Amino acid sequence: MNKVGFLDSRLLKSFYKVFSGVAATISFILLFCDIPKQHKIVTLICTLILLLIYYIGTWRKAKNQTSITLKFGESYVDVKFGDIFKSDKDDLKVISFNEYFDTEVGKRISPRTINGKFLEMNKNRISEIQSIIAKDEHLNQEMYVSTNEKRKQGNKKRYQLGSLVDLSNNYLAVAGSKFDSEDKANVTMREYIGFLLTFWNEVNRMYNNQSVVIPVFGSGILRFTDGYAGATGQDLLEIIIWTFKISRIKIAYPSRVKIVVFQNKSDMYNLYKLKEIEKDGL
């Protein structure tokens, strides 16, 4: 279920508007009509009960919400619970790799991550994927950072975080995390935001009027090394949406950005809260 507290501040704010409207309407009616004294308490109790029922209904609706659509200018962003691999076949699905675009599932890439699942699903295409990465001109000319000759296993070329490469079959790979000497995925929060801004520019270059489907980047095993270790999946989701908003790129309708939150983690997220970003930002 959607993580929305019973006394969620946004719910209370919305409810206060309804309560104020009801109070104003009743006050207006009482200017012209008198309620018999013996009925006033009953009327008050009935009104309060109806308002409580309304509030509980609104809370349950928010809690059971499984998707939400946000609008930024001409662009739409859908957020929903689900499975990225079950997205529409014509959508571009983005899979997060590390900065080396490693393809070996095991020590470096957990089979439980989206990256690992994708590689397991495409284990007969690994050599083809490696060839695509090695031959991509934009990736190797514009987004190349350095070569790590000290690396004993895995790819040696490092690429800028946010770099995109088309793996064909409507899948894109993005360099989404750095790897330390122990092959653990990590970034600083500054790097994470920089990654997202670069990523949106890359999406703008490549989306070709198709909808783009992404996960909540970093909500799995990504470690933040600059004091943001406590960043939650909700925090990361809000940052993803915020960076899209400030990037000013346009994914024109009917194309849209779709953010898929893993269904099993739905109780960690509050979709109701996201409307705030549409209106005011973080």
Q: Note the pLDDT of residue 229.
A: 74
Residues 6+ apart with CB under 8 A from 104: 153, 154
CB pairs under 8 A, 24+ apart, for 183-187? 183/107, 183/108, 183/154, 184/223, 185/98, 185/221, 185/222, 185/223, 186/222, 186/223, 186/224, 186/225, 187/161, 187/218, 187/222, 187/223, 187/224, 187/225
Question: Are 266 and 127 within one domain?
Answer: yes
pTM over the 0.75 mark: yes
CB pairs under 8 A, 24+ apart, for 82-90? 82/260, 82/261, 82/263, 83/260, 83/262, 83/263, 84/114, 84/213, 84/214, 84/215, 84/260, 85/117, 85/118, 85/121, 87/213, 87/258, 87/260, 88/211, 88/213, 89/170, 90/170, 90/210, 90/211
pLDDT digits (tens, 9 = 90+) for 169-183: 999 999 998 887 777
User: HSE (CB half, 13 Å, CA atoms) of 177?
Assistant: 24
Work out the number of other CB atoms within 10 angstroms of the CB of residue 19.
16
Q: Note the pLDDT of residue 282.
A: 54
Q: Note the pLDDT of residue 224.
A: 82
Residue 256 has pLDDT above 60, yes or no: yes
Q: Note the pLDDT of residue 276.
A: 83
Find the distance separating the first CA and the last CA of the chain, reported in whole Å: 23
Report how many domains make up the chain: 2
Instruction: Write out the residue range of the structural domain in which residue 52 sits.
Output: 9-63
Question: Are 169 and 225 within one domain?
Answer: yes
pLDDT digits (tens, 9 = 90+) for 117-169: 999 999 999 999 999 999 999 999 999 999 988 888 889 999 999 999 999 99
Question: Are 189 and 252 within one domain?
Answer: yes
Q: Note the pLDDT of residue 280.
A: 65
Q: Of 32, 47, 63, at which residue does a domain stop?
A: 63
Question: Are 151 and 166 within one domain?
Answer: yes
pLDDT band at 110 (very low <50, low <70, confident <90, very high): confident
Residue 106 and residue 126: Cα distance in Å, rounded?
14
Beta bridge partners of 96: 174
Residue 218 has pLDDT above 90, yes or no: no
Label residue 7 exposed, middle or buried (CB < 10 Å: 0-12, 13-18, 19+). exposed
Question: Are 42 and 75 within one domain?
Answer: no
Label residue 203 exposed, middle or buried (CB < 10 Å: 0-12, 13-18, 19+). buried
**Averaged pLDDT, 227-250:** 89
**Averaged pLDDT, 92-107:** 91
Distance set, CA 216 to CA 52, 144, 233, 241 (Å): 35, 25, 7, 10
Residue 3 lies in a domain: no
Percentage of the chain beyond pLDDT 90 is 54
Question: Are 141 and 171 within one domain?
Answer: yes
Residue 190 has pLDDT above 80, yes or no: yes
Work out the number of other CB atoms within 10 angstroms of the CB of residue 201.
14
More confident residue, 154 or 192: 192
Average pLDDT, the chain: 88
Residue 227 has pLDDT above 80, yes or no: no
- Among candidate residues 188, 193, 169, 170, the one with its CA nearest the CA of residue 178: 188
pLDDT band at 43 (very low <50, low <70, confident <90, very high): confident
Residue 278 has pLDDT above 80, yes or no: no
Residue 273 lies in a domain: yes
The enclosing domain of 81 has a CATH number of 3.40.220.10
